[in-house]
Amino acid sequence: MFYLFKAKYAQATGKLRRFLLAYRKHYLPRQLARRQGECRRCGACCRLLFKCPFLQIQADGATHCRIHRRKPGNCQIFPINEKDLRDRDLYAPESKCGFYFENK
């Protein structure tokens, strides 16, 4: 029970942190320039704290974003930094995100 609370608390603070970081004009472009890789469409980031209403989970467990071509800005910039990947790993430690960050 405590683990579930701790995970939800981390996810909630992560959402707030990402919201605030998105408005740091100099920080965001530097971080996104460090981000490498691509989305594997596992859907783990779409289930942080609550399930995104546009996330479709198919019978075989595969996920699909119903608005992927028009996805909102907060989806386009995820992950902003390594902390976001750790938050995502709290939800789905069994899968690996396609994004990583290089030190530049």
- pTM for the predicted model, two decimal places: 0.83
CA 82 and chain centroid, separation: 10
Tell me the average pLDDT of the chain: 89
Q: 89-100 as b/e, with b when 16 or more CB fall inside 10 Å? A: ebbeeeeebebe
- Tell me: the pLDDT tens digits for 69-94? 888 888 889 999 999 999 898 888 88
Between β-strands 99-101 and 55-57, what pairing exists: parallel, antiparallel or unpaired?
A: unpaired
Residue 63 has pLDDT above 80, yes or no: yes
> Model confidence at 97, in pLDDT bands (50, 70, 90)?
very high
